[in-house]
Amino acid sequence: MAAAPVWSVDPRTGKQREQVAVEATAQEVDAAVRAAHDARGALTDRTVRAAFLRTAADELEAARDRLVEVADAETALGPVRLTGEL
């Protein structure tokens, strides 16, 4: 069976926007959970965890405009709220 597409929907109009993903198979979910479980050990070290979180924050900040634009298109929460949440 082919993976089912997952579509973004504009909350203002109810119209389908774009395909954003495909449904994962049980095997793909299992592999992702196992990979996350295997990676957890590295995050017990505070230095590694701090570097990871700083990098994640920097990447989110770098993508701020696009993230807020997409989130607004998908939630209609507005740029002011979404920027605050980011």
Q: Are 82 and 68 in contact (CB under 8 A)?
A: yes
Phi-psi region of 61 (alpha: psi -120 to 50; beta: other; left: phi over 0): alpha
Q: What is the pTM of this model?
A: 0.70
pLDDT band at 1 (very low <50, low <70, confident <90, very high): low
The structural domains of the chain, with segments of one domain joined by +, span: 5-85
SS3 39: helix
Q: For residue range 14-27, what is the model confidence (pLDDT) as tens digits? A: 999 999 899 999 99
